[in-house]
Amino acid sequence: MPVSDRRVLILGGTAEATKLAASLVAQGYSTISSLAGRTRDPAKIEGAVRTGGFGGAEGLAHYLLHENIALLVDATHPFATQISDNALAAVQSTHTPFVRLERPAWQRKPGDIWNSVATLEEAVLSIPSRARVLLALGRQHIGPFSKRRDVYFVVRMIDPPETPPDLADFELELSKPGKKDEEAAFLTRKRLTHIVCRNSGGSASYAKIAAARELGLPVIMIERPHRPDTSTLPDVDSIISFVRERLG
Ligand code: NAP
């Protein structure tokens, strides 16, 4: 019997969101996880799952009211800004209790050689001529790098792209990030001189940053977009405590 029959809507698409759904379901909460539908083969998620956009902030507000949502958790990726803005607007207009789960950004450590930039475009301009660069970015972020005809790119992604990247000189590497030693071996084998990535935070893709530190490789780090002030907690356990306080 659910401890609360009022439902928690989790805006997901992240490993933390999947973990949160599993923990809440295990504790008897009724959850709906929402996915944008971008990933071809998403990991299994406990509880109910819905897929696809809501139709902007208004569509989400409508969904909150009509699906009897007691609490909204925005557990989307730190760089997914539109859905988070929509979530804030929707909870404000419907007075729905709300919390955001956002893993902390990576912090620079001694030995890191980071060039922190604010945008993808700035990252494109920051690459030195004739560099060999690991582009550790989603396929939708590769386009702007086509301007750099003087750079060799190793484009790493999990799913093969529908069309090959429009880059002058590149190779595709279809794999997931490995552990630190595997990442160091990969960077060395490919004779890479730089990494371009986003400050996603979390542990799943941190190994390349640790490997770069060890090898003395510069990282062009695209920092997170500015977020509006909002109630944010850093991990699944603190979100569960929040849900328990609110819903019992
Ligand atoms: P976005 O630009 O913030 O959102 C664009 C639109 O996609 C939203 O307005 C919304 O459409 C729909 N949408 C986004 N997330 C949704 C969700 N969880 N459930 C239902 N609809 C959603 O988002 P994005 O950057 O494309 O990211 C899409 C999804 O991928 C997110 O769930 C995010 O957590 C995940 N993800 C993103 C990144 C990234 O780098 N951005 C990385 C890893 C995972 P409507 O306006 O029609 O509601």
Expressed in angstroms and rounded, the spacing between residue 52 Cα and the centre of ligand 1 is: 9
Residue 155, pLDDT score: 97
- Can you read off the two tokens belonging to residue 71? 């609490």
Task: Say if ligand 1 is within 6 A of residue 82 CB.
Answer: yes
Angle between helices 180-189 and 207-215 (to 10 degrees): 60
List, for residues 61-70, the tens digit of each pLDDT value. 999 999 999 9
Q: Mutate which of 49, 54, 83, 158 to test ligand 1's pocket (most atoms within 8 Å of Cβ)?
A: 83
E-strand stretches of 52-101: 69-74, 98-101
Number of neighbouring beta carbons within 10 Å of residue 192: 20
Residue 158, pLDDT score: 83
> How far is 74 from 162, CA to CA, in rounded Å?
29
Closest-CA residue, ligand 1 atom 12, reads 53
Residue 84, pLDDT score: 95
Q: Residue 48: CB partners within 8 Å, gap ≥ 6? A: 30, 31, 32, 33
The stretches in the chain having pLDDT less than 50 are 1-3
Residue 5, pLDDT score: 66
Element at 136 (helix H, strand E)? strand 132-136
> How far is 42 from 38, CA to CA, in rounded Å?
9
Residue 1, pLDDT score: 42
Expressed in angstroms and rounded, the spacing between residue 181 Cα and the centre of ligand 1 is: 32
Helix or strand or coil: residue 156?
strand
